[in-house]
Chains A and B, each alone.
Chain A
Amino acid sequence: MNVRLPSWNLLLWLATLSPSVCAQDQVVVKAGKVITVTKGTLENAVILIENGVIREVGQDIEAPWDATVIDASDKVVLPTYVVAHTSGGMSNPNENMANVPYLTVEDAVDPSSQFFEEALRNGVGTLHVIPGNATLLGGRGMIIRPFGRTVEDMAVRTAAGLKVSLDPGRGSRMAKIRKLHRAIAEVREYLADRERREAEFAKEKEAGAVAEDAEFEEIDPKKKPVVDLLAGKATAFFYVPSAAEIAEALRIRDRYGFKAVFVLGPACSKAATRLARLGEPVVLMPELEVWETDPDTDEESMYCSAAELAKLSVPFALGIAESTRGRPTGPTRYPWWQMATCVRNGVDRQMALEALTIVPARILGLEEELGSIEAGKVANLQIVTGDPLQATTWVDTVLLDGEVAYQRSEDPRLRHLFGEAETTEDAR
Chain B
Amino acid sequence: MTGPFPKDAVNRNAAMTTRAFLAALLAAPAALLAQPSGDLLVRADRLVISPGNELTERAAILVRDGKVAFLGPEIPAPAAAAAREMRFEGTIAPGFVDPHAHLGIAKDLAEAIDAVTPDLSAADALDPFDDALGRAARYGVCTLALAPRSANAFAGRAAMVRAGVTGTLLMEDAYLKLALVDESLDQNRFPTSRMGAVDLMRLSFARARDAANDDRASQAIRRTLDGGRLAFHTRRHAGITSALDLCDELGVQPLLIGADEAARSTARLVRTRGSVVLAPLNLDSPLRHLRLPATLEAAGVPFSFMTEAPPRDATAATGRAEATNSTAHPEALRVSAALAVRHGASRTTALAAITRVPAEQCGAADRCGSLLQGRDASFVVVGGDPLDLGAPLLAVFVAGKRVDLEDRGDDR
Query: A residues engaging B (CB < 8 A)?
Result: 295-297
Q: Which residues of B contact A297 (CB under 8 A)?
A: 288
Measured between alpha carbons, how far is A296 from B286 in the docked complex, in Å? 7
Q: Which residue of A lies closest to B291 (CB)?
A: A296
Measured between alpha carbons, how far is A296 from B287 in the docked complex, in Å? 6
Q: Which residues of A contact B286 (CB under 8 A)?
A: 295-296
Q: Which residues of B contact A296 (CB under 8 A)?
A: 286-288
Q: Which residues of A contact B287 (CB under 8 A)?
A: 296
Q: Which residue of B lies closest to A294 (CB)?
A: B288
Q: Which residues of B273-291 have CB atoms within 8 Å of chain A's CB atoms?
A: 286-288
A-B contact pairs, 5 of them (CB 8 A): A295-B286, A296-B286, A296-B287, A296-B288, A297-B288
The proximity string for B residues 71-115 relative to A, scoring 1 for CB distances below 8 Å and 0 otherwise, is: 000000000000000000000000000000000000000000000
Q: Which residue of B lies closest to A297 (CB)?
A: B288
Q: Which residue of A lies closest to B263 (CB)?
A: A297
The proximity string for B residues 253-286 relative to A, scoring 1 for CB distances below 8 Å and 0 otherwise, is: 0000000000000000000000000000000001
Measured between alpha carbons, how far is A296 from B292 in the docked complex, in Å? 11
Chain A interface helix/strand/loop/mixed? loop
Number of A-B pairs, beta carbon distance below 8 Å: 5
Q: Which residues of A contact B288 (CB under 8 A)?
A: 296-297
Q: Which residues of B contact A295 (CB under 8 A)?
A: 286
Interface size of B by CB at 8 A reads: 3
B337 to chain A, nearest CB (A): 22
CB-based closest 5 A-B pairs = A296-B288, A296-B287, A296-B286, A295-B286, A297-B288
Measured between alpha carbons, how far is A297 from B237 in the docked complex, in Å? 12
Measured between alpha carbons, how far is A295 from B288 in the docked complex, in Å? 9
B101 to chain A, nearest CB (A): 29
Measured between alpha carbons, how far is A297 from B292 in the docked complex, in Å? 11
B283 to chain A, nearest CB (A): 16
Measured between alpha carbons, how far is A297 from B288 in the docked complex, in Å? 7
A257 to chain B, nearest CB (A): 45
Measured between alpha carbons, how far is A342 from B139 in the docked complex, in Å? 60
Q: Which residue of A lies closest to B289 (CB)?
A: A296
A371 to chain B, nearest CB (A): 48
Measured between alpha carbons, how far is A295 from B284 in the docked complex, in Å? 14
Measured between alpha carbons, how far is A297 from B287 in the docked complex, in Å? 9
Measured between alpha carbons, how far is A297 from B286 in the docked complex, in Å? 10
Measured between alpha carbons, how far is A136 from B286 in the docked complex, in Å? 36
Q: Which residue of B lies closest to A295 (CB)?
A: B286
Measured between alpha carbons, how far is A295 from B287 in the docked complex, in Å? 9
Q: Which residue of A lies closest to B261 (CB)?
A: A298
B289 to chain A, nearest CB (A): 9
B343 to chain A, nearest CB (A): 12
A423 to chain B, nearest CB (A): 41
Measured between alpha carbons, how far is A295 from B315 in the docked complex, in Å? 13
Measured between alpha carbons, how far is A297 from B295 in the docked complex, in Å? 13
Q: Which residues of B286-312 have CB atoms within 8 Å of chain A's CB atoms?
A: 286-288
B334 to chain A, nearest CB (A): 25
Measured between alpha carbons, how far is A404 from B170 in the docked complex, in Å? 91
B65 to chain A, nearest CB (A): 50
Q: Which residues of B177-193 have CB atoms within 8 Å of chain A's CB atoms?
A: none
A77 to chain B, nearest CB (A): 53
Q: Which residue of A lies closest to B290 (CB)?
A: A296
B8 to chain A, nearest CB (A): 58
Measured between alpha carbons, how far is A352 from B162 in the docked complex, in Å? 72
A267 to chain B, nearest CB (A): 22
A116 to chain B, nearest CB (A): 40
Measured between alpha carbons, how far is A412 from B311 in the docked complex, in Å? 58
